[in-house]
Amino acid sequence: MSAIIIDGKEISKKVKEEVRLEVEKLKSQGIPPKLTVVLVGDDPASQVYVRNKEKSARKVGIESDTIRLPAETSEEELVELVKKLNDDESVNGILVQLPLPDHISKDRIIETISPMKDADGFHPYNLGRLMAGLETVIPCTPNGIMRMLDEIGFELKGKNAVVIGRSVIVGKPVAQLLLSRHATVTTCHSRTKNLEFYTKNADVLVVAVGRPEMIRGEQIKEGAVVIDVGINRKEDGKLVGDVHFESASEVASWITPVPGGVGPMTVAMLLYNTVYLTKKQHGIV
């Protein structure tokens, strides 16, 4: 068997086009959506992500600016800035790029962002609503994964879904979303014993660990849908996922590549979230 590739680039283009049309509509009503990104320090990967987010936002007509702060910025200073952005009516979405320097509490900063402007969907209020099955802003990567599954027409009801990784950013919310679609969900993590027992039984396997090519074809159920969230740079500079693509493609029915899979979806869903929040702030949804 050779798996069909789930083309994140193509699907993200479709999402961005939908967002662009929504932005156009909002602008014609005098509501120009705006996303403000805050970047603290000079982490090279974060610089790339932030530039990419800014560029993508502009392309769909979302006004976007990035506030760049030095690594020495204090937690208090960052809290004050976020509060200012919360109060700024021209700002619809706020994103504080992670990771933050060690001396700043990520949790405190996330909790300072107004849940109404929480473009990443990481605020405990929004995560709580997700858990309660209420409509809310959904973290970008998990939302992108669900959109990919929808695009291939995969029916989750009654299927075994296995998520490897339990981060608040990916693992936990994606497990919740899969559950809300009536899949039987298992979350595996670093302390899971006999990982293969679970992966071999997964109709849908979502891998979000951050270990290059850790899941191989032998561990995957024949015909499974494999979603590879990992982004890892190998020593030779090659970008790979958490799944060994070649061996997994022999067994899976559908698979996401790295790069060009989940990554582009994450950015597209950020734009989607910005528009969603803008509409919510104006009582349109």
Residues designated as active site: 53, 97, 120
Position 190 contacts ligand NAD (CB under 6 A) = yes
Q: Would you tell me how many other CB atoms lie within 10 Å of the CB of residue 58?
A: 12
Q: Which stretch binds ligand NAD (CB under 6 A): 16-24, 85-93, 149-157, 161-169?
A: 161-169
Position 78 contacts ligand NAD (CB under 6 A) = no
> What is the phi-psi region of residue 239: left when phi exceeds 0, alpha when psi lies from -120 to 50, beta otherwise?
beta
CA distance 63 to 96: 16
Is the Cβ of residue 74 or residue 190 nearer to ligand NAD in the bound state? 190
Is the Cβ of residue 32 or residue 210 nearer to ligand NAD in the bound state? 210
Position 176 contacts ligand NAD (CB under 6 A) = no
Largest CA distance in the chain: 56
Q: Which stretch binds ligand NAD (CB under 6 A): 14-22, 57-65, 82-90, 225-233?
A: 225-233
Which helix (H) or strand (E) covers residue 129, if one does? helix 124-131
Position 40 contacts ligand NAD (CB under 6 A) = no
Position 189 contacts ligand NAD (CB under 6 A) = yes
Which helix (H) or strand (E) covers residue 37, if one does? strand 34-40
Residue (of 11, 3, 41) closest to 272 by Cα position: 11
Residue (of 7, 4, 2, 3) closest to 148 by Cα position: 7
Out of 227, 229, 268, 275, name the contact with ligand NAD by CB under 6 A: 229
Is the Cβ of residue 186 or residue 253 nearer to ligand NAD in the bound state? 186
Contact 266, 259 (CB under 8 A): no
Position 184 contacts ligand NAD (CB under 6 A) = no
Q: Which residues bind ligand NAD (CB under 6 A)?
A: 141, 164-167, 169-171, 188-190, 192, 195, 208-211, 229-232, 262-263, 266
